[in-house]
Amino acid sequence: MQSPSKLCVASGSAQPAASGLQCWADLPDGPLHSILALSGSFRDLLAFAATCRSWRTAFSSYPSKSTFCAKFPPLLIQFNARVKAPDLPSNNGRHELRTCKVIDPSNKNVALRCQIPQEIYQKMHFAGTSYGELICCLGGHCLIVDVFSGAEVSPPCLPFSGKFAGEFYYSGTLTAPLTSPNSHLLVSTETSLFDWPVGSDSWSELQLSDARIEQIVEFNGQFIAMDDSYKIYSLQLSPQIGLQEITTEWVGDLSPSSYSKPWLVVCGDMLLMVTCFSTMCPGSSSLVCIPHHLDMSTNPHKWVEVNQLDNWALFVGGDVRSRPFSCLRPEQWGGRSKWLYYASRHSFIVHGVGDERDPSAGPDIEYERRWSRKLQPLWVYPSMFYSDGQ
């Protein structure tokens, strides 16, 4: 996109001065918002916002930036990725450095950058991602870092009672964008779920008996938490933090296990539990990704198998705490419906979901889900897509 100085109307132009428009930078928000609505990629949006101050302001005032999350796929972030750097001294004949790498599935040839300081993702312990923010902790100190701008927010130190054995964080999530007035940061440890109202000076603590909270998602206006035994709970923040178990039944033979470690994914008006299994047949094996949706019309609620995912694609990562996403009509950016996109060290792997089978995915592919202190490849949308509070 050209700079505003090159797009200005020449001073000798016959255009009437009364119009008040001397260059593209003077365009009012209405036409600029129309241009934004026609954007076809992340690169278009970033170029628009970087053109000049008035265009950046128009982007900030765009009434529904969160709709871009449905229009574009999330971006893949790879940490400690090797990239070519011919100006560096040779290392065994290779000129490389390790850095964060960003991949746009809609255009893998476009170079994008994130701004996470290296010491954060190399030294701190990963807790989760939420609304374009990376959540890391170390020694009870948490840090919220904007993946693309590098802006940091430091909550108060977690109120650990005694020594925190092993220092491991099972999940970290925001209940709303940082700019929202009622945003909370939730961090789960071995024995507790901590709640920090953003901007306050203290945490509240909910002690857990036999559950470790692994995922928290917002679905139909309420927060749903899942523990390491794949039980789900309704989460309340007011008047104090609390969990209420939701009784469910599993319909089908392939129930989730500690080996399969399912993903909890919000997909339109469905809450999905997505599990990948390796099935063995005489002389061969195959990988099957099966989603179940929560049927809330029954009591108890039932997890019912979904054979056809229709116009949706799913995006998941290898770390239990990395946030999964869904995207409607991925064909509009060159993707494919009924596919699962798995974040890997090299790029991403795709596989059919439900009855959809992908012949390009070999039978030996394994989708690992694990906890790791080091950051694994993950999917994320920029925080600027959530600044309208939706």
Split at pLDDT 50, 70, 90, the class of 183 is very high
Distance CA 9, CA 302 (A): 63
pLDDT interval class at 95 (50, 70, 90) = very low
DSSP-derived 3-state class of residue 333:
helix
The predicted model gives 170-197 an average pLDDT of 93
Q: What is the pLDDT of residue 206?
A: 94
Q: 264 versus 210: which is more confidently predicted? A: 264
Mean pLDDT of the chain: 81
pLDDT at residue 275 tops 70: yes
Q: What pLDDT does residue 13 have? A: 40
- Across the range 218-226, mean pLDDT stands at 94
Tokens of 220: 């139909």
Nearest in space to 343 (alpha carbons), one of 367, 364, 362: 367
pLDDT for residue 257? 67
What average pLDDT score do residues 60-87 get? Answer: 78
- The pLDDT score that the predictor gives to residue 117 is 83
If one compares 237 and 110, the residue with the highest pLDDT of the two is 237
pLDDT at 381: 93
pTM: predicted TM-score of the whole model, two decimal places = 0.84
Give the model's pLDDT for residue 312.
93
Q: Do residues 386 and 66 lie in contact, with contact meaning Cβ atoms separated by under 8 Å?
A: yes
Is 12 or 136 the better-scoring residue by pLDDT? 136
- In sequence order, the β-bridge partners of residue 336 are none
Scan for tokens 């798995």, then name that residue.
342
The rounded distance, in Å, linking the Cα atoms of 28 and 80 is 43
Assign 30 a pLDDT band (cuts: 50, 70, 90).
Answer: confident
